[in-house]
Amino acid sequence: MTDAERRDADGRPPLLEVEGLKKHFDQSDGLLDRVVGSSSSVKAVDGVDLAIREGETLAVVGESGCGKSTLGLTVLNLHDATAGSVRYRGEELAGLSQRAMRPYRRDLQMVFQDPLASLNPRQTVGQILTAPMEVHGIGGSDADRTERAKELLERVGLRASHLDRHPRQFSGGQQQRVGIARALAVEPDLIVADEPVSALDVSVQAQILDLLSDLKEEFDLSLLFITHDLSVVRHIADRVAVMYLGRIVETAPVEALFDDPQHPYTEALLSSVPRIDPEARRERVVLRGAVPSPLDPPSGCRFHTRCPAIVPPADWPGDQGAFRRAFTFRTRVEDGALDPEAVAAQLAAAGRPTDDASVASAVVEQSLPGDRGDLPEEAAEAVEAAARAVVAGDEEEATRVVHAAFPSPCADEAPERVPLGPDRAADCHRVEPTDGADAEPTDASGVSVENP
């Protein structure tokens, strides 16, 4: 896609464009890694595309550990990017030295999750607010800057008289107001707000969200709002990018995402959002299993180890739930998670037989979610054959059996990004392009380039 195509109707590029951004943390610095010669890396951010327009709030949502905070820090060049591009007003930031970043620091600010940890406890609020103004040449004198600091304090709901207090003398909500005032002090264009309300009492969260919304309008800001909590997103975001294990899996305008999520992971996240309207409540989707390690993300679609909608083979004789259970058993076999010795010990302790057939049967009982009888007969026989191979110590054969019996394209091929109309896209084998989506060209991040 050409640069001309990316621009909005007024010919402006997005305020911020992120393409193919990666941040990998090398783990080989540790003693253990030096001893074993490992050079593994944590792929915290692993190929992210997104764009933020002027005056827009983009929420990035995902479970803890999905890489969203690292994404925020890498976008601001507070972490060095491993690969990819971050363009602010068309200028490349990735790879700039901290010195070269200085002119951009004023425009790009951050509000942190833990307000107290982000404020210098030895400084007064006045010093906290005026120091960045001085660094960036805002205000003609100390008196000007102090006056502006007082105005900012009042604007964020504090009092001018708070100027002489220290951070510890405030409540959590007040500390976050100071953090927001500090970000505003240098008149930024974009604020990255990383879980700005998650450390606060629920009663205070709404106040801070309202404050951020009002300030965004008043100061004509753009926001990159990072959160694990989809329920707060509806109040503040224009668009949402859903992140899983280092990648964006769905982007959509906020109402479209809540009304009609396309990616199974988004559906699962939304199903846990409390709704007052009983009509609007969704059936709760419980995701089984932990988020896989970003050291070694799953092949194909990264969500396939937990996805309730994982695609079965065309000739699968059972229902979707049965395939999900069978595939979970496959994953456990492939991960070497079956432990026949421990199972044998449990059987012995319970006074039950510990011959191979009994141990294999108990391995199936413990490792196959649900009942063996709920699987199609052929699938149940494959599960038992794999368990027998594990008990016989032949993990290779066990893996071969489950691989052949429970194949899925989701485990083999990473899904392409599917355009779904203006500003919408999802990465999933089950998602079909909607009619007319081709007529609304999007950039790599799913942002419509004709209908901003």
Cα separation, 247 vs 160, whole angstroms: 43
Report whether 426 contacts 420 (CB < 8 A): yes
Give CA–CA dist 165/358, Å, rounded.
Answer: 70
Number of Cβ within a 10 Å radius of residue 133:
22
**Site for ligand SF4 (CB under 6 A): which residue of 133, 242, 287, 311?**
311
Among 74-82, 99-107, 192-200, 306-314, the segment contacting ligand SF4 (CB under 6 A): 306-314
Q: In what order do the strands lie in the sheet with 190-194?
A: 108-111, 190-194, 222-227, 57-61, 239-244, 247-253, 425-427, 417-419
Q: Which of 44, 192, 209, 310 binds ligand SF4 (CB under 6 A)?
A: 310
Give the residue, chosen from 199, 215, 309, 322, that forms a contact with ligand SF4 under the rule CB under 6 A. 309
Q: What is the DSSP string of 195-213?
A: STTTTS-HHHHHHHHHHHH
Q: Are the C-beta atoms of residues 167 and 125 closer than 8 Å to each other? A: yes
Which of 185, 307, 360, 402 is in the footprint of ligand SF4 by CB under 6 A?
307
Q: Is 298 in the site for ligand SF4 (CB under 6 A)?
A: no
Nearer to ligand SF4 by Cβ, of 335 and 365: the residue is: 335
Which is closer to ligand SF4, CB of 390 or CB of 420?
420
Check binding of 312 to ligand SF4 (CB under 6 A).
no
**Taking CB under 6 A as the rule, does residue 301 contact ligand SF4?**
yes
For the chain, the first-to-last Cα distance in angstroms comes to 16
Q: How many CB atoms lie within 10 A of CB 365?
A: 12
Select the span of 35-43, 113-121, 308-316, 359-367 touching ligand SF4 (CB under 6 A). 308-316
* Total chain residues near ligand SF4 (CB under 6 A): 14
Q: Which stretch binds ligand SF4 (CB under 6 A): 156-164, 194-202, 301-309, 366-374?
A: 301-309
How many helices (H) and strands (E) in the chain? 18, 12
Complex with ligand SF4: residue 177 or 429, whichever CB lies closer: 429
Q: Among residues 287 and 410, whose Cβ is nearest to ligand SF4?
A: 410
Binding mask 252-281 for ligand SF4 (x = CB under 6 A): -----------xx-----------------
Q: How far is the CB of 51 from ligand SF4 (least distance, A)?
A: 23
Task: Name the E strands within 120-172.
Answer: none
- Subset of 415-444 contacting ligand SF4 (CB under 6 A): 415, 428-430
Side-chain-side CA neighbours of residue 16 (13 Å): 29
**For ligand SF4, which is the closer residue by CB, 90 or 313?**
313
Question: Per CB under 6 A, does 242 bind ligand SF4?
Answer: no
Q: Name the H helices within 139-285.
A: 142-155, 172-184, 202-219, 230-236, 254-259, 264-271
Tell me which residues touch ligand SF4 (CB under 6 A): 263-264, 301, 303-304, 307, 309-311, 410, 415, 428-430
